[in-house]
């Protein structure tokens, strides 16, 4: 790996971060006249903890990662954007994306005027590390891997991921938004071995908390301190921090919903594969299925007419004719399966 010192943009390395009132004061006090807040307690009159320490302690216990290796943000989308701002000089640097994958990597690249080099997945939606390594040069700062991948649903081959981690000179992101639904283990345990690794996870999927916008990035303390330097001072609101603490305390509820989603995933997969139309359902390690339906545009419109919204992936690389269908409640899945029986294909 190139030294972190060299990978971080020079202006970011040299800049002085904003120091908020809550950053500067350490200790105990009873009169807070330092942050121009409204003094009357209305639950939300005070700024929240900028580094969300109580929540990080909880995440630390749950994930067995030290708090200084954790960044919390406004969804993992915030961490994705910070990666560009930390490591990629606009108009100069580039990143490598697998194709197809989650759309926000490219959107953030465009937003930050950073070139995307795309590496096509193979016909099993899997990764060839050599294709990525062939594009490696001093201006390629980051590789984005997503496993389980969106929209394909599969985990990427672990040996190929290790090869990228071993040989790529820059930062490697492994986006594990869907890892809780997978039979494969997280790469969190590899953080100490690979100083160039950033693992992304989120409360938006298995934890059932998309609305609170709480994403997690795990990496070396050095990378996390770069994120802390450039993030908005109070990037996670107090209601979100409180909600996350409460949601993370109920692992049992999450596990119960998770098993139900996995059960339903198999049930829908079986029903669609065995239906009179013999839909092709791609193997999934996530909470959605990629289903080849023939004419995806017609199928999508038909489902909408019946009040069911899925994601039309017809125009996505390697996904022609495909819908991405999220696993719903058993009742919702019954409605879907019923309508799929009469789909015009
Ligand atoms: N990564 C992937 C692969 C996703 O599919 C999504 C959301 N669809 C995200 C990240 C963003 O998650 P969050 O809600 O935490 O911003």
Please report the pLDDT score of residue 25 as a whole number: 85
Establish whether residue 77 lines the binding site of ligand 1, counting it when its CB lies within 6 angstroms of any ligand atom. yes
Asked whether 251 and 41 are in contact (CB, 8 A), the reply is no
The CA-based angle 56-57-62, given to 5 degrees, is 95
- Asked whether residue 208 carries a pLDDT value surpassing 90, the answer given is yes
pLDDT digits (tens, 9 = 90+) for 262-305: 999 999 999 999 988 788 999 999 999 999 999 999 999 999 99
Q: How far apart are CA 150 and CA 106, in angstroms?
A: 13
Please report the sign of the dihedral spanned by the C-alpha atoms of residue 22, residue 27, residue 31, residue 34.
negative
Q: Look up residue 23 and give its two tokens.
A: 């950053």
Closest ligand 1 atom to residue 80 Cα is 10
pLDDT digits (tens, 9 = 90+) for 159-171: 999 999 999 999 9
Establish whether residue 288 lines the binding site of ligand 1, counting it when its CB lies within 6 angstroms of any ligand atom. no
Closest ligand 1 atom to residue 178 Cα is 3
Q: How far apart are CA 258 and CA 256, in angstroms?
A: 5
The CA 204 to ligand 1 mean position distance, Å, reads 7
**Ligand 1, atom 2, residue with closest C-alpha:** 177
Please report the pLDDT score of residue 111 as a whole number: 96
Please report the pLDDT score of residue 21 as a whole number: 86
Mean pLDDT, residues 239-268 taken together: 98
Please report the pLDDT score of residue 213 as a whole number: 98
Establish whether residue 177 lines the binding site of ligand 1, counting it when its CB lies within 6 angstroms of any ligand atom. yes
Establish whether residue 150 lines the binding site of ligand 1, counting it when its CB lies within 6 angstroms of any ligand atom. yes
**Ligand 1, atom 1, residue with closest C-alpha:** 177
**Ligand 1, atom 8, residue with closest C-alpha:** 102
**Per this entry, what is the length of the chain?**
345
Q: How far apart are CA 298 and CA 118, in angstroms?
A: 29
Q: Which residue has the higher pLDDT, 344 or 61?
A: 61
Mean pLDDT, residues 199-219 taken together: 98
- Asked whether residue 259 carries a pLDDT value surpassing 90, the answer given is yes
Q: Look up residue 42 and give its two tokens.
A: 């209305």
pLDDT digits (tens, 9 = 90+) for 189-199: 999 999 999 99
Mean pLDDT, residues 101-114 taken together: 97
Please report the pLDDT score of residue 345 as a whole number: 64
Q: Which residue has the higher pLDDT, 142 or 5?
A: 142
Establish whether residue 75 lines the binding site of ligand 1, counting it when its CB lies within 6 angstroms of any ligand atom. yes
Establish whether residue 218 lines the binding site of ligand 1, counting it when its CB lies within 6 angstroms of any ligand atom. no
Report residue 1's pLDDT band, with 50, 70 and 90 as the boundaries: confident
On the question of a cis peptide bond just before residue 345, with omega within 30 degrees of 0, the verdict is no
| pTM for this prediction | 0.97
């Amino acid at each position: 790996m190139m030294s972190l010192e060299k990978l971080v943009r020079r202006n970011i390395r040299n800049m002085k971060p904003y120091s908020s009132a809550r950053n500067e004061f350490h200790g105990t006090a009873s009169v807070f006249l330092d942050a121009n807040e409204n003094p009357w307690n209305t639950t939300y009159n005070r700024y929240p903890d900028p580094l969300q320490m109580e929540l990080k302690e909880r995440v630390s216990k749950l994930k067995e990662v030290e708090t200084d290796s954790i960044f919390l943000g406004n969804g993992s989308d915030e961490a994705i954007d910070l990666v560009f701002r930390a490591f990629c000089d606009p108009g100069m640097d580039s990143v490598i994306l697998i194709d197809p994958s989650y759309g926000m990597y490219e959107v953030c690249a465009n937003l930050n005027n950073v070139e995307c080099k795309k590496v096509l997945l193979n016909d099993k939606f899997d990764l060839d590390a050599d294709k990525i390594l062939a594009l490696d040069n001093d201006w390629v700062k980051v590789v984005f891997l997503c496993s389980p991948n969106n929209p394909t649903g599969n985990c990427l081959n672990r040996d190929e991921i290790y090869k990228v981690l071993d040989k790529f000179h820059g930062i490697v992101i492994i986006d594990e938004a869907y890892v809780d639904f997978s039979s494969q283990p997280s790469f969190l345990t590899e953080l100490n071995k690979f100083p160039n690794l950033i693992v992304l996870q989120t409360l938006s999927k298995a934890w059932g908390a998309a609305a609170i916008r709480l994403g997690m990035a795990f990496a070396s303390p050095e990378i996390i301190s770069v994120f802390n330097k450039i993030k908005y001072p109070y990037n996670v609101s107090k209601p979100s921090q409180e909600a996350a603490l409460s949601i993370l305390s109920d692992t049992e509820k999450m596990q119960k919903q998770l098993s139900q989603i996995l059960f339903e995933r198999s049930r829908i997969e079986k029903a669609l594969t065995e239906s009179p139309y013999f839909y092709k359902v791609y193997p999934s390690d996530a909470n959605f299925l990629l289903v080849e339906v023939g004419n995806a545009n017609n199928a999508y419109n038909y489902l909408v007419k019946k009040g069911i919204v899925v994601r039309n992936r017809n125009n996505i690389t390697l996904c022609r004719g495909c819908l991405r269908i999220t696993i719903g409640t058993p009742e919702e899945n019954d409605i879907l399966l019923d309508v799929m029986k009469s789909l015009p294909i």
